[in-house]
Amino acid sequence: MSAPTPMSASSSPPDNVIPPRAGFRAVVKAWISRGPRYFTLREQQLFLLLAIIIGLLSGLAVVLFRIAIDWTHLSLFGSGLTPARARAVLVPTLGGLVVAFLVVRFFPRVRGSGVNQTKAAVYIYDGYIPFNTVIGKFLTCALAIGSGHSLGPEDPSLQMGAGIASALGRRLRLSREKVRLIAPVGAAAGLAAAFNAPISAALFVIEEVIGKWSAGVLGAVILSAVSSVVVSRWFLGSEPLFRIPVYQLVHPAELLAYAALGVIGGVSSLIFVKVIGYTRPRLKGLPPWTYYLQPAAAGFLIGLIGMWLPQVMGAGYQFMDQAMYGQFTWRMLVLLAAFKIISTSLSFVSGTPGGMFAPTLFIGAMIGGAVGGIEHRIFPWLGGSVGAYALVGMGTLFAAFLRAPMTSVFMVLEVSGNYSIILPVMISNAVAYMVSRYFQPTPLFDLLSRQDGLDLPSMEERREESALRVEDAMRPYRGPILRGEDVVADALLTLEKSGESLALVANREGHWGGLTAAELRRRSAEAPGQTLGSFLADVRLPHLHPDQVLDEALRRFGDFPLLPIVSRADFGKLEGVVTLQDILRVYRTTGGRLAQSEAHAEVAIE
């Protein structure tokens, strides 16, 4: 056997050979060039590996972001528990001026919380988020929150994680589909690191950004969220976001108080949404030069409130802890909740970048603590702790204001680590969510996107949609049902008398076939005496079940004029048939109703 010919120094290895010390992009290129089957096997593994890398990078970015917020706050306000009155007014005012200058002149994409911006990147811009948006979000939000504006770091962390993922996907030249999917993976990583709650972050991204479950996306989202939390806990510690007091349900009647908390939380969320929905478009409609002054004006008003209630400034995590341990009277808690709604609305509608998660939790904790304090005074025999009400109130307002009911339940469980509180959480959250839905049909994020002229998909509307099924379009079959022993000539005569376009043929195994009149004529001309069973395998039809979605029927039609619908328990039992015309009729009818409902929704928004 001859020795292999050595490769010359000037020649390069084939594309599908991975050279030693190859870079990551070279490895990806070699995987792709090895052929569709090889790459199909490796693509999902690569995507999951990228999810871990994105989680590590996003977690590190969020750690730096939290440090930057704390450093800014200490530098501007000092280390005292309450800032001096002069600083309480001047710092958020001057901070608003600087933030407005940066946003208007350099980072116009960083306005808003970051959730809708990430959704827009996924559904409009194919996952594209410029990396300077990550830088701008980091700088402006650290300054805004650190200077006392009533906003939180979670939503910006979500957008920063999505931006890091988008940049990495473009750098690796992933396909458009993968870049679109990789942005929500980064969003989950950023939110998980900011919340120190990977399950809640993954649920929120799937519930509000992606809108649907799939095994590949779910695995990548969970991996990125977990890896980012590992990084966050490595640097910032593994302590939970809140110190939760011990909870125990003393009396079943206490659940009525939690239901009342749900009603109060739902009404409070309505006030919050209405204030933002009314004032935001009016401030955006002012002349562009006012954009430089609006965050400063908001900061000035927040500073005036902060002179007497400094707790409403910034994210306010430490004051949520104090509320859980009963360090405020119920009257003080009511004041804090009311003025937090005002201060957060001022910051958000002025265009100051920052998130709504922390203010929502703050308001919910204060409302919950107030309800718990009142319940203790009126019904002391019910027991329970103010901290439990504050904790449930956090999830209650989150469910009603942000309209993420599943996330709100798991968030409370994750930050408390106490599953005995799940019953009060579910009752209060469900009541608040129903109140919010009834009186405010359009969720906050959908309202904001429509105010910005974007038609982003409404995840709540998707969840509430009832899918059209085969049974909605099927009709009875009035034609002949033939058997394998029938003769072709007789079958042709029977079909022509029925007026149907297709004769169904059933065999003993429960399979169905279909024969058109033209096919029967051809077979009859060739051999009029032959039976249908002699060629039944050649005319086999795909079948449907009544509960399948209509999309599945469209995929199976092919060139057949109709398809049989059979029982799941007995494939030989014919339930009906469906044609393309039947499906189009149902879609037209449903489309007309949908257009009317959308028109009514637009009128309600206006």
Q: What's residue 40's pLDDT?
A: 44
Give the chain's residues under pLDDT 70.
Answer: 1-43, 212-216, 240-241, 243, 245, 383-384, 464-465, 484, 507-510, 528, 533-539, 591-606
Picking from 283, 272, 117, 301, the residue whose alpha carbon sits closest to that of residue 209 is 117
Do residues 478 and 500 lie in contact, with contact meaning Cβ atoms separated by under 8 Å? Answer: yes
Q: What's residue 539's pLDDT?
A: 66
512-516 and 574-579: which strand pairing? unpaired
Q: What's residue 215's pLDDT?
A: 67
Q: Which domains does the chain have, with CATH numbers?
A: 24-236 (1.10.3080.10), 254-462 (1.10.3080.10), 470-586 (3.10.580.10)
DSSP 8-state class, residue 533? G
Residue type, 376: H
Classify the phi-psi angles of 175: left when phi > 0, otherwise alpha if psi is within -120 to 50, otherwise beta. Answer: beta
512-516 and 502-506: which strand pairing? antiparallel
Rg (CA), the chain: 31
Helix 215-236 to helix 36-77 angle, to the nearest 10 degrees?
40
Match 């060039």 to its residue by tokens: 33
> pLDDT for 286-314, tens place per residue?
999 999 999 999 999 999 999 999 999 99
Question: DSSP for 351-362?
Answer: T---BSHHHHHH
